[in-house]
Amino acid sequence: MKYREWIGVDYALHASNSYKETNHDLMLLIGKKSEDLEKDLPEKWNGSIKKIESELIGHNGWTDMKQFLDSLNVISNYVILRNFEELPDKFVHHDIDILTDNVKMISDLINEEKSAIGKASIMIGDKKILLDFRYQEGHHYDEKWAKDILKRRIMHPSGFYVPCNEDYFYTLLYHGIVQKQIREEYKKILYELAKKINFNENIEEILNDFTLSKKLLDKYMSKMRYHKTTIDRRILYKIRHGEIIRLVKVSIFLTKTYGIRFLLKKIKIKIRMIKNVK
């Protein structure tokens, strides 16, 4: 921030604070991670500065599913919850269900302003595909469970993040219970997952009996201390993690670090920017 003050123009200079932020910014600006960019650079700089003019990646849609997933890997902490078996080569379902701890980050990536909704269509190639990323922590899944899913996520062989086998099994079962029906295609996946997690009970009998399926899910959630989401829990989550709370935390940090005058100055600048946009 000192360097920006030296230049005298707000936001004219930016430097990344970490390797993660560097990858984030490079992906948005030029569609590459730092290790990919390094391959294109000469060993010694020749002193010339190349000017690059381009829109942010995804501004006019995505070339293919792989490009979108590569961007998602860098930008967001997420998992694709289900129906990912044939990605990125084939997409046979009507939407992609995503669990994330930062809905706004995905909204910004896909240039979607209505981030609170958590649903948006994007163009991948010549196809319009619906993204459903309402599954943030504390909304569809218990906050603790959602954090555990993201913590235990694994990289799919095709290059995107999915739940580990145990979480995939129980979130898919949970999805079926919430929908009041476990679809046949999901039963097949659950049979295979049961083998992978060494499930010793008669899974076929359980999945063909809705009451037994529900008991199995309840038993697991109780053991893990996960709760079913309710309207009350969703409201409490939104209060704790809402935009107002976030702004309060940022204000306290800036005040402690740089002083109250710095904070007031930045607030004035932000107000001017909003007025100019309008």
- Of 92, 85, 98, 160, the C-alpha closest to 131 is 98
Percent above pLDDT 70 for the chain: 82
Q: What is the pTM of this model?
A: 0.78
3-state DSSP: the chain helix, strand, coil percent, rounded to 5? 50, 10, 35
> For residues 250 and 231, what is the distance between their CA atoms, to the nearest angstrom?
28
The better pLDDT of the pair 128, 115 is held by 128
| Mean pLDDT calculated for residue range 113-126 | 75
| pLDDT value, residue 37 | 81
Calculate the average pLDDT of the chain. Answer: 84
For the segment 32-63, what is each residue's pLDDT rounded down to a tens digit?
888 888 888 888 888 888 787 878 888 888 99
| pLDDT value, residue 239 | 54
| pLDDT value, residue 149 | 96
Sorting pLDDT into bands at 50, 70 and 90, what band is 116? very low
| Mean pLDDT calculated for residue range 111-136 | 78
Percent above pLDDT 90 for the chain: 42
| pLDDT value, residue 8 | 62
pLDDT higher than threshold 60 for residue 209: yes
The burial class, CB within 10 Å (0-12 / 13-18 / 19+), for 47 is exposed
- The residue type of 83 is N
For the segment 160-176, what is each residue's pLDDT rounded down to a tens digit?
999 999 999 999 999 99
| pLDDT value, residue 19 | 77
| Mean pLDDT calculated for residue range 175-202 | 95
> For residues 95 and 133, what is the distance between their CA atoms, to the nearest angstrom?
10
| pLDDT value, residue 236 | 55
Name the DSSP letter for residue 55: P
| Mean pLDDT calculated for residue range 127-141 | 77
| pLDDT value, residue 244 | 66
Lookup result for tokens 């800036």: 254
The kind and range of the H/E element at 211 are helix 210-224
Sorting pLDDT into bands at 50, 70 and 90, what band is 242? low
Least confident of 112-121, 153-162, 229-238, 246-255: 229-238
pLDDT higher than threshold 50 for residue 232: yes
**So where are the chain's domains?**
1-37, 242-278
Q: H-type helices in 10-153, by residue range? A: 19-30, 34-40, 65-75, 103-109, 143-151
| Mean pLDDT calculated for residue range 2-30 | 71
pLDDT higher than threshold 90 for residue 99: yes
